[in-house]
Amino acid sequence: MAEQLPAAMIDELAADCVHDVREGVGFELDYTVETLPVVDHHCRTARTSDRWPDGAERLAQTVGCYFGEVIRRRFDGGCRWVLSAEGPHAWRLEFERCFLCFNPLGAALELLLEGPAHGWNADFVTLPEASPDVESHLDQLPGVGEGDFYTLSVRYEVLETIQDFLERWQAGRKNLPRRYETSYYEERLALMQPDLETEVE
């Protein structure tokens, strides 16, 4: 069962990212969306290090926590961190006003790997009944190259688009909750798990 993640744990990892970027590129991160291209650059620089890929997973955790905090603060309490006893690969950020969750650490690892991070739950998860409409909506938007999607700045733009669409999509659906509690996520994700496992294999 998931538990609310202690804020201190996220704060510490995100602060490590702030420190690393300050030391590496001389830029002070301030947890705004506008800083995500700098974090993208920081990760690209890390991939050219002689020590790469030593510490890739740790870097994914610090960068992922920073990315998640940017999102959480941007939505002003509209989403929350949740962890699993299984470890950081199973952490997630979940939204309250629509059913949308993903693991920011997985997104960071995909940026570092420049490809899928299987088992890290980096994909955006929505309700199955909403997924076809979400995909149709995204298909109408200007295309995003695969390489661009493996950046935090572009992934944030996609996330914001999906979140906005989902809030409008569910507005007229009386069978859906107005607020999505963690218990609701747990129930629905458990039902969706076989399909989610298929996607990451």
- Secondary structure (DSSP) of 16-48: HHHHHHHHHHS----S-GGGHHHHHHHHHHHHT
> Pairing relation of β-strands 100-102 and 92-95?
antiparallel
CA–CA gap between residue 26 and residue 23 (Å, rounded): 6
Q: Using CA atoms, how far apart are residues 21 and 157, in angstroms rounded to an integer?
A: 22
Contacts of 93 (CB under 8 A, 6+ apart): 68, 71, 72, 79, 80, 81, 82, 101, 102, 103, 104
Distance between CA atoms of 70 and 187, rounded to whole angstroms?
Answer: 27
Q: Predicted confidence band at 198 (pLDDT cuts at 50, 70, 90)?
A: very low
Q: What is the pLDDT of residues 95-145, one digit of tens each?
A: 999 999 999 999 999 999 888 999 999 999 999 999 999 999 998 887 666
pLDDT range class, residue 199, cuts 50, 70, 90: very low
The pTM of the full predicted model, rounded to 2 decimals, is: 0.90
More confident site: 145 or 82: 82
- pLDDT tens-digit map of 34-72: 999 999 999 988 888 777 777 888 999 999 999 999 999
Q: Indicate the domain borders of the chain.
A: 3-184
* DSSP structure class, residue 142: P
Average pLDDT of the residues in 61-89 = 92
**DSSP letters along 116-135, please?**
--TTS--S-EE-TTTHHHHH
Asked whether the beta carbons of 115 and 150 are under 8 A apart, the reply is yes
Report the percent of the chain where pLDDT is more than 90: 68
Q: Which residues contact 130 (CB under 8 A, 6 or more apart)?
A: 99, 166, 169, 170
pLDDT score of 147: 62
Q: Under CATH, what is the fold of the domain 3-184? A: Four Helix Bundle (Hemerythrin (Met), subunit A) (1.20.120)
The answer to which of 20-24, 62-66, 83-87, 152-156 has the lowest mean pLDDT is 83-87
